[in-house]
Structure 1
Amino acid sequence: MNILLTGGFGFIGQQVVKLSPIKRKVVRMGESYSGSSVHQIDTLSTTTNWQGAFTDINAIIHLAGLAHSNSFSEQDYQEVNVDGTLHLANEAAKSGVKRFVFVSSIGVNGTSTYQTPFSSLSKVEPHSAYAQSKYDAEVGLQKIAEETGLEVVIVRPTLVYGPNAPGNFGALTRLVNKVPVLPFGLVNNKRDFISVQNLADLLITCANDPKAAGRTFLASDGQVVSIKDFTNAIAKGLNKRVIQLPIPVWCMRLAGKLLGKEVMIEQLVGNLEVDSSNAQEVLGWIPPYTMQQAMHSLLENNK
C-alpha cells in the first residue's frame, strides 16, 4: 500500500515513519519537513483542501487531531476530530483511496474495567468530550464505509508509552527520573498499555492486511501489569532505582478526592484491561516488542 500519513510529526507518527516507507505526509503550513512527499494544510476541518493529496495513495493512517486536554471545548473536538476526519474520509473515498485506518481511543470504551476486560464488542461509554469525539468519528466513518465501500479500520489504543511520550506517560517518566520514592507498593491493579513501537507496527499491518477491513482492534502489548510493575519497568528502562512505599490505595483515592484529582488517581490505581486477541486471531499480529525491550529505548533517549 502507498500510505498517506496524517500526524506524521507527532509522537506516534514519527514511529510509523521509522518502521515503514510513507508515500506522503500531511503537514501544517509553515512546518519544516524533509524526506517523503508532503501535502500542506492550514487546519483539519470541513474546509481543508485535500486536492492532490490522494494521488497514488491506497491507504490512509489518520493520527492527526486534538488530543485529550482541558484547553479544548466540545465544539473544538467536534470541528477537528469529527468533522475534519469525516471530510478527509469522504474526499479520500471520492478519490479512490481503498483503506482508512483511524486511530481512536480506549476512552471510547470507558475509564476502567471491573469484572471483564474491554473487547471490540463491549458496550461503549465515552467518558469525556475527547472520547465522545473519537466515537462520533468512528460512527461517521462506518457510515461512509457503507455508502462508499471505503475500508475503514478502527484502532483503539490503551495508554501509549515510549520516548518523548506526551500526557500521563510523559509525566510518569519525569517523576521516576527525578523522584526515587513512589507510593505504589500496595497497588496490585491490572492495566494494559502499548508501546509506541508496537502500536506503529499494528497500524502499518492494518493499512496493508486485507483482513483488517471493517474491523475494530483494541491495541495493547498483551501484557497486564500493575502501576507498581509499570513504574518499576520505567525505572529499569531509565537505569534508575525506585523504592515503592506501601501506601494504602484508599489513602490515595481519598487524597485524589480532596485535591480534585480523582480521575488522575483512578488512572493510576484502577483497572483497565483489554482483550486485544482479535488482532492475532484476524491478522496474525503479535506485538514485536516486549515491555522490557520497549522501555529500554527510554535510556537511549535520556542520554
Structure 2
Amino acid sequence: MSRVLITGTSGFVGSNIKITSAKKVVRAVNSNVENTNVSNHTHFISSLDSKTNWNNAFHNITSIIHLAGLAHNHDYTVEDYKSVNVQGTLHLATEATKAGVKRFVFVSSIGVNGTVTHNSVFTPGQVACPHNAYAQSKYDAEVGLKKIAAETGLEVVIVRPTLVYGPNAPGNFGALTKLVKKVPFLPFGLANNKRDFIAVQNLADLLIACSEHPNAPGHTFLASDGETVSIKEFTNAIAEGQGKKLIQLPLPISMMKFAAKLLGKSAMAVQLLDDLQVDTSNAYDILGWKAPYTMKQAMSLLSDQDSTTNQSDNK
C-alpha cells in the first residue's frame, strides 16, 4: 500500500482528498501554521519555491500528490509562476527522489493543451500549446519532471483536470452556485456548447488511483466526469443540486460575450460558453478508472454545503 504525502491540503482539491481518502493520506503539507485543524501528520512550509525546506517531510513516504501552486490569477507575474509552479515543483521532486520517494503525481492544467477549436477534443498525446503564463508554467513543470524521471527513475504521473466543481469551490463555479442561489434565472437558454467538467470527489479518487496503480507512471491523464454537457445543462444541475428552480433566458451567445468583454470578463465567458471536451479513455484503459460519481450525484452534495453554511450563520 502506498504511503502518500499531499501538498496543497488547505486548498479546495487537497482538502477533499483528505476527506474522501483519510486512511490513505499519511502526511499533509500545509503553509498555514495557524490552522488548528491539522493532525500531527502535517509538514509545514513557509513557501513553495526552489529553497523550500523539505527536511523530514518524506519519512516512510512512497508517493506524492502535488497540488500546491499558484492558480490562474492576473495578479501573478510570469516570474511568480516560474518560482512557485516550476522551480518549487522541480525542487520538491528532486528532494523527494533523494529521500527514496518512488512516485510523483503532478496536478497540471487542461490549459496546457491550449485553446479549443470547433468540434475538437483534447487528447493526452497531442502537442502541448499553453495559452497563458499559468498554463505555460504547468507545462514547464511537466517537462522538468519528465527529465527528472529519465535521470532518476522517479515514477511521474501527470493529471490535467478540466474545471473542478463541488461544494465550496472557488472561481467560476463558486460564483455560479452563489448566483443560482440568489437569482431564479440565468441567460443560457440558447447555450448548446459542449463542455467537460470534473467533480472534486472524482478528481480526488483519480489522484489516489494514480498514486497507487502500477501502470500509471509515464502517462498523462485528462480528467473529467465523462459526461459532456452544455452550460445550460450544467447550471440546471447546480440548481437541482441546491433544490432551486431556474429559468433559462434565451439570450444570444454573441450578446453575452460582448457584455462579458465590456465588463472585463472575457476569460470567464470563454470558460463557460465555448466548447471544451477531453478524451479520458486512457484512464479506463490503463487504470480501469471511471468516475465514481455522476454529475447529478456530485451536484446533490451542494445541498450539504447549504446546510453547513446555514448552521455556521446561525452560530
C-alpha displacement of 1:142: 0.5
C-alpha displacement of 1:51: 1.0
Deviation track 1:52-111 (CA, whole Å, cap 9, x = no partner) reads: 111100000001111111111111110000000000000001111000000001011123
Aligned counterparts of 2:254 and 2:277: Cα–Cα separation in 1: 21
1:242 paired to 2:246: yes
Deviation track 1:251-270 (CA, whole Å, cap 9, x = no partner) reads: 11222333333222121111
**Contact map agreement 2:163 2:198 (CA 8 A) in 1:** yes
Aligned counterparts of 2:164 and 2:280: Cα–Cα separation in 1: 14
**What percent identity do the matched residue pairs reach?**
61
CA spacing shift, 1:31–1:241, aligned 2, 3 Å: same
Among 256, 276, 297, the alignment partner of 2:301 is 297
TM-score normalized by structure 1? 0.97
Deviates more, 1:15-24 or 1:49-58: 15-24
1:162 paired to 2:163: no
Where does 1:208-247 land on structure 2 (aligned, <5 Å)? 208-247=212-251
Aligned counterparts of 1:254 and 1:71: Cα–Cα separation in 2: 24
Where does 1:253-272 land on structure 2 (aligned, <5 Å)? 253-272=257-276
After superposition, the CA RMSD in angstroms is 1.1
Q: Which residue of 1 aligns with 2:151?
A: 147
Aligned counterparts of 1:36 and 1:2: Cα–Cα separation in 2: 16
Aligned counterparts of 2:28 and 2:258: Cα–Cα separation in 1: 46
**Contact map agreement 2:155 2:217 (CA 8 A) in 1:** yes
1:10 paired to 2:11: yes
Among 269, 275, 278, the alignment partner of 2:279 is 275
Q: Which residue of 1 aligns with 2:207?
A: 203
**Contact map agreement 2:119 2:275 (CA 8 A) in 1:** no
Q: Which amino acid aligns with 1:52?
A: N
Q: Which residue of 2 aligns with 1:109?
A: 113
DSSP 3-state at the match of 2:205: helix
Aligned counterparts of 1:125 and 1:176: Cα–Cα separation in 2: 34
C-alpha displacement of 1:29: 5.4
1:68 paired to 2:72: yes
Q: Which residue of 2 aligns with 1:19?
A: 20
Q: Which residue of 2 aligns with 1:46?
A: 50
Q: Which amino acid aligns with 2:13?
A: I
Deviates more, 1:10-19 or 1:258-267: 258-267
DSSP 3-state at the match of 1:153: strand
Q: Which amino acid aligns with 2:232?
A: K
Where does the alignment leave 5 or more consecutive residues of structure 1 unmatched? Answer: none
Deviation track 1:1-32 (CA, whole Å, cap 9, x = no partner) reads: 00011011211111111222211111225232
**Contact map agreement 2:231 2:273 (CA 8 A) in 1:** yes
**Contact map agreement 1:23 1:36 (CA 8 A) in 2:** no
CA spacing shift, 1:118–1:36, aligned 2, 3 Å: farther
TM-score normalized by structure 2? 0.94
Aligned counterparts of 1:113 and 1:294: Cα–Cα separation in 2: 29
